[in-house]
Structure 1
Amino acid sequence: SGWRSTRWLATSQLLAVPPSSSLWPRSINPADKARRNQSSTRKAGATNGNRQQLNGHPASFRLKDCQPISLNIHPSQGGPPWRLACGADGPNMGSMQFLLPRREGLAELAVNCAYMIGNDGAPWETHVTYHSGRLTVSRDARESGRLIAPWTIAGCGQVALSTATLLPRDTPYHLVLELCRGTLSRILSQFAPSFLDQPAVHGAVSEAERHFVTAALSQHDIERCAREAEASLAICVNLIRKCLAPALKAQGPSNVCSRLTGFQIDSPRGLNSLLQSSRTLGNAVFYQSSWRETESNPGEFNWATWQRDLRRIRQSKRRAACGPLFRLNRHDLPDWLYLWEEDFDTLQSYVVNYVQKAVDALRGDVNLWYVTAGTNIESELQLGEEHRLRLTLSAIEALRRADAQTPALVGIRQPWGEYLGHAAIDLSPWQFADIVVRSELGISGFVLEMNIACTSDRTLPRDLLELNRLIDHWSTFGLPLVIQLAIATPGKAPVLGQPAGISTQTVQTVRDIVALLIQKPSVQGIIWGQFYDRADWKAGVITADGTPKAVLQTLADCWCRNNDT
């Protein structure tokens, strides 16, 4: 059939990115790409008579028709000419500009959350500003890269998407058009060709391409360009969800009897509610009692609460995971520890002593140690990344001196590395974890903390294709992964700033994420990170007044199904 070769030829034209950019990921074999292009070229000649129109556009449509159009004035804002705004020499080194359509809250969201990543996927420290309809993205190096930015997708809510590889230049890009280009390229390069050949999938991709072409030809009209690109994005993101879900079901039930499922509990109230619930709420509890309460004065320890609650967990026939033993935040650390903030050696000695005392006191009631959490990012305790890494390694070493047998996990916050886009930090999450593994201190696995929200201090929401890629990347360590998931979900009222229907979307998102994670052999645990809502983070499964949320039943169904498998 000729449609296949025509479609690939069309794709290479319609998705053409600006010069010096890259459409195909580096993992694509260049030889395979060359053979595919040659095959498409040969077959295209045989079908030339049938190519009078392509997705509603003339057969003469070529690469140049998709190049971004140079605009001196933002039509909807009446902004100043580009040269007047940036000076005669154009933008600063490594800067790009993106045109934004008129969408409530879009500019603020992009300024707070957008960042650049390199060809290796590692984020760069990025400075983002907004003025007169233009988003300016700056960094130190003048290298090509991809922009990660959240966008509201019809039927899916807010999703962080990636552009294709872009080169710094004077001419502004259309943000939503470039996000659409990048999303289409991910679908075409990461899904198998045989999968893309299926009629339903081919029809959806063709429809998305048609909207993308219309958007590319409408760059002189920012609002129309945005509408067409958003229509294409909605098709793409919903296609990823709809196509992955049946594939997961087709694989049949997984052997998840040994997987940890349950909740992170940090208060006696939460533990009481969990243990008294009539629902099947997992087979494990990650239990934490803060260091502040355990050692309110130096050297004065009170382990009674820990010991009582851990025994209750064991008596309920659940596995007891103790920790994290310490987090670098003010809520968990004792006040007196801040007196030693500028004396790292003394501070480190207190951390080591606390971990050793905890292991000695609790070892008989613990199935799993959760040593540290979030030490890969900046914290309220003013420590550099070298000191945070040393604290992590010292805590593991102290634990292993006292208990060499019980499995021990280290928590990694923001595993995609969003924090690197907003701070001068050298180590990516994966590099931080790699150093921990290479230290050979006996670490058993990692907890990937995904507190999902469109804010700079949380993990940005991603589609299932990107989540699948992340898990595969972290699986290269060959160590078990525990995913600690938390998403802000409304109770009776919607979350501030979110549409009223977000509750149903969030529940479906949770169901899709859990279904995907269950199919990954390296994922040995799925833990919901919060039981009760807090004032600053409403990601619990029960509201502060004790009302269960819809997401609780969703998780209960997943845990029950998993435990029955």
Structure 2
Amino acid sequence: MLRFKVYENGAPARQVDLTGAHLLGPERVPVRGELRFEKGEILCETRSRAAAALAIVWPVKGFGRVMLETPRLLERREPYNLVVELTRGQLMRISLKREDWGLYDYPEGEPVYRAVDAARDLLLEAMTAGDDATAFALAEQALSASVTAGESVGNLHAEAFLARRRTSGQLPPRPIGCRLSLDEVYKAPVAGPIHPQRLPRGFDFVSVPMSWRYIEAVEGKASLAAIEPWVRAIRERKLQLWAGSLLSFDEMHRPAWWSGGAKEYDRLRDAAARHMKQVAKALAPHVSAWEVAAGLHARNPLKLNLEQIIDLTRMAMQVARQAAPKVPAILTICPPWGDYYANDHQTIPPLLYAEMAIQSGIAFDAFGLEIRFGGEGGPRYVRDMMQISALLDRYGGLGKAIHVSAAGVPSAPPCADGSWHGEWSEDVQSQWLRDFYRIALSKPFVESVSWHGLADAGETGANGGLLRGDLTPKPAYHQLLSLREEICAGRE
């Protein structure tokens, strides 16, 4: 059993929120285990004696509540100090990424290097403290310093490589997009022309979700009426149209009339193929990219087995290829972190699914990644920018182009999935957009980034849009325009 001591105000903590906490094995894949809190300690019972890491959403002073990980640890008689181990894990990841990125001798990086060294010194003080409570207090300072330093390392790398990509002319020609939310397209259908403010300037393309649930509300009777006004408006504004989420089984996309499970797989496959062929036939002349399948590895309420999930992925790609052979086909990994796998082993870890899609010979052009926190379809636990940058590198290493098919964070609390640089606000949302886009577009394999949701939807409480419910722009929208002007200077 792994045990972690937790203190609060110099005394053993009375309670700890374990929502989202799980154990990680080799390759950071979640493993089964039972977690509970008793008498000031987090107790982790694993199914084996192999080393495991604890991942937990933790409040970092002066920063926010983010998912953090300890190093992989072996069981021992004495409990570990939780915050000491979280800090140690963070500094280990910083060291690995600095080596990976070669960030040791950039002159402009001196303040960042000093911040990393200061965080390491604080950790050493915590590890040599005379008592556990003092060690915990010092480790909290070290954790705050290390998370902040980690983001500085990620931002330093982003600035250097974004500048290099821009000056060498390697930035993609159409990097900025927006993916409409289901609320915008289906829950408030537009009878007439789309208001111009609903498609403001600054985008190269707009992705429209092709929700099976809404398109085929009655089995065998498909309707694209809700989509048609958006398609017309996008074409009139000379933007590219992307068709999103053609096949997904989460509750927002799965047809309400479907009541079968894995035992009726052949019927499910036929119904899914029919839906996709109908959409593909209607939109093939207008579409610039297909987001063919989304989240099949993680959203598995039908309890499909591995072979069936891979077969559906292959079928979906074949339908898209047949409809428009020259249009890029994107396989979306949603979510890209494997937190869900800890509680449902009938799903597939995301990186394993991505690797299997390649190794199985499925023909597709790029991966899509959804990197957004809060909002519908969660939980999506908040990560810091260094973790996000490292995640992009892991998928980029698979040899396919990457499209961030949905990025986003809320602009107001509450958000049960965590916080970043304080409570969510319009200004924090704008800051997150700035840092995230610069990191993503600095990667040589990232070809586009799409924001999830144009405008807030007051009826559902969604507040992650670039525009408010009355269509006035938020600071995040102005930040996006500023970024676009910077990276596209001289090309328009």
TM range (shorter): 0.7 to 0.9
- In the TM superposition, what is the alpha-carbon distance from 1:141 to its structure 2 partner? 1.7
CA shift, 1:249, in A, is: 3.1
Q: Is the 8 A contact 1:100 1:133 kept in 2?
A: yes
- The answer on whether the counterparts of 1:260 and 1:524 sit within 8 Å (CA) in structure 2 is yes
Q: Which of 202, 205, 208 is 1:287 aligned to?
A: 208
Measured in 1, the distance between the counterparts of 2:376 and 2:136 equals 23
Measure the CA separation in 1 of the matches of 2:58 and 2:154.
21
Measure the CA separation in 1 of the matches of 2:375 and 2:199.
34
Q: Distance in 2 between matches of 1:423 and 1:208?
A: 36
1:519 to 2:425 alignment: no
Match of 2:364 in 1: 443
| Residue deviations 1:59-96 (CA, integer Å, cap 9, x gap) | xxxxxxxxxxxxxxxxxxxxxxxxxxxxxxxxxxxx31
Instruction: Tell me the CA shift for residue 522 of structure 1.
Output: 0.8
The secondary structure found in structure 2 opposite 1:343 is: helix
Secondary structure of residue in 2 paired with 1:120: helix
Contact 1:282 1:560 in 2 (8 A): no
Distance across 2 between alignment mates of 1:236 and 1:481: 29
Partner Cα separation in structure 2 for residue 193 and residue 476 of structure 1: 19
CA shift at 1:405, angstroms? 2.1
- The letter for the 2-side match of 1:208 is A
Q: Which residue of 1 aligns with 2:6?
A: 100
Find the aligned partners of 1:434 and 1:334 in 2 and give their Cα distance.
29
**1:395-406 matched pairs, under 5 angstroms:** 395-406=316-327
Deviation at 1:229, TM superposition (A): 0.9
- Decide whether aligned partners of structure 1 residues 536 and 219 sit closer, same or farther in structure 2, where only a CA change above 3 A counts: farther
> Percent identity at matched positions?
23
Match of 1:56 in 2: none
Letter in 1 for 2:311: R
> Which residue is equivalent to 2:32?
125
1:145 to 29, 52, 59: 52
CA contact (8 A) 1:275 1:316 kept: no
Task: Confirm whether residue 554 of structure 1 aligns to residue 479 of structure 2.
Answer: yes
Change (3 A) 1:106 1:150: farther
After superposition, the Cα gap between the structure-2 partners of 1:231 and 1:260, relative to the gap in structure 1 and judged at 3 Å, is same
**Matching residue of 2:77:** 170
| Residue 424 (structure 2) aligns with | 502
| Corresponding letter in the other structure for 2:267 | T
Which residue of 230, 235, 249 maps to 2:145?
235
SS at the partner of 2:431? helix
Instruction: Determine which of 202, 205, 211 is the counterpart of 2:116.
Output: 205
Once the two structures are superposed, the pairs formed by residues 257-406 of structure 1 within 5 Å of their partners are 257-265=172-180, 266=182, 267-268=184-185, 275-276=196-197, 279-339=200-260, 342-406=263-327
**2:340 counterpart letter in structure 1:** Y
Structure 2 SS opposite 1:482 = strand
Structure 1 CA distance for aligned equivalents of residues 480 and 49 of structure 2: 46
Contact 1:262 1:559 in 2 (8 A): no
Secondary structure of the equivalent of 1:137? Answer: strand
Counterparts of 2:319 and 2:229 in 1: how far apart (Å)?
24
Give the Cα–Cα distance (whole angstroms) in 2 for the partners of residues 415 and 157 of structure 1: 21
**Aligned partners of 2:304 and 2:346 also within 8 Å:** no
Higher relative contact order (CA 8 A, sep 6+): 2
- 1:441 to partner: Cα distance: 3.6
RMSD: 3.3
Taking a change above 3 Å as real, the CA distance of residues 313 and 546 of structure 1, as seen in their structure-2 partners, is: closer
The one-letter code sitting in structure 2 at the alignment partner of 1:432 is: Y
Amino acid at match of 1:389: I
Match of 1:531 among 449, 454, 457: 454
Q: Find the residue that maps to 2:330 and give its secondary structure.
A: strand
The offset of 1:188, in angstroms, is 3.2
Q: Is 2:340 the partner of 1:419?
A: yes
Question: 1: CA distance between counterparts of 2:375 and 2:225?
Answer: 39
Alpha-carbon spacing, 1:196–1:220, altered in 2? closer, same or farther (3 Å)? farther
Distance 2:352 2:123 in 1: 37
Match of 2:8, SS? coil
Which deviations, in whole Å up to 9, do the C-alpha atoms of 1:530-551 show, x marking residues without a partner? 2344537543334456564433
Kept in 1: contact 2:216–2:255 (CA 8 A): yes
C-alpha distance in structure 1 between counterparts of 2:387 and 2:373, whole Å: 14
Deviation at residue 520 of structure 1 after TM alignment: 0.5
> Which AA in structure 2 matches 1:478?
G
TM-score, reference length from structure 1: 0.74
Q: Which runs of 5+ in 2 are unaligned?
A: none
Corresponding residue number in structure 1 for 2:88: 181
C-alpha distance after superposition, 1:112-157 (max 9, x if no partner): 2222222323222333212222111222121113222222223432
Amino acid at match of 2:247: F
Distance in 2 between the 1:451 and 1:202 partners? Answer: 29
Q: Is the 8 A contact 1:107 1:135 kept in 2?
A: no
Cα distance in 1 between the residues matched to 2:317 and 2:377: 29
How many residues were matched structurally?
468
From the superposition, tell whether residues 494 and 433 of structure 1 become closer, same or farther in structure 2 (CA, over 3 Å): closer
TM-score, scaled relative to structure 2: 0.84
**Per-residue CA distance 1:284-314 (angstroms, 9 max, x = gap):** 1110242233223232222344344223212
Unaligned runs of 5+ in 1: 1-94
CA contact 1:511–1:554 (8 Å) conserved in 2: yes
Confirm or deny: 8 A CA contact 2:7 2:13 kept in the other structure. no
Alpha carbons 1:148, 1:160 under 8 Å: kept? yes
